[in-house]
Copies of this chain bind each other. A is one copy, B any other.
Amino acid sequence: MSRNADGLSIGDVAKATGLGVHALRFFEREELFLRPIPRTAGGQRVYEPADVEWLLLCNRLRESGMPIATVKRFAQLVRSGPGNEAERLALLEEHERTVRDRLADLTASLEIIHDKVLTYRRHVEDGTAAGLWSPASSSQP
């Protein structure tokens, strides 16, 4: 793994974040990091725990649907130092709204899916499954 304490190799970071080494290099090309990642004399990346922390937050942002481009914008704001916190806040608030909307949509879809499941379950248990989703049937697929 790393040569000196707190110096992490790309493989270490991949393990710690669940990302692949390809993804980490891709993120670097896309400038998603908060700093240029330093290299060994031989050219290999040396990460620090703070980079891992940032990546874990990035994971949460991306898993919650934030596109890479927006993560990049956020990273740029952070990189350009103090003074733009209101902008960072606006970006996060906007994303929070998006996530809440998505949660509401997902919950609505879940209800419909669960209804379908209940319908099918009844039909399968009763052995009266015929007639599901023929047009004009009261119970759809």
Contact = CB atoms under 8 A, between A and B. Distances in A.
Interface in A76-134: 78, 82-83, 85-86, 88-89, 92-93, 95-96, 99-100, 102-103, 105-110, 112-114, 116-117, 120-121, 123-124, 129-133
A140 interface: yes
Contacts of A92: 113, 116-117, 120
A96 B120 contact: no
Interface secondary structure of A, over-half rule: helix
A141 B106 contact: no
A113 B64 contact: yes
Nearest to A75: B141
Contacts of A53: 135, 140
Interface string A40-53: 00000000111001
A21 interface: no
Contacts of A117: 89, 92-93, 96
25 contacts: A34-B133, A53-B140, A54-B133, A54-B140, A57-B140, A57-B141, A60-B113, A63-B105, A64-B110, A64-B113, A74-B141, A78-B133, A85-B123, A85-B124, A86-B124, A88-B132, A89-B120, A93-B117, A95-B113, A96-B117, A99-B106, A99-B113, A102-B106, A103-B103, A103-B107
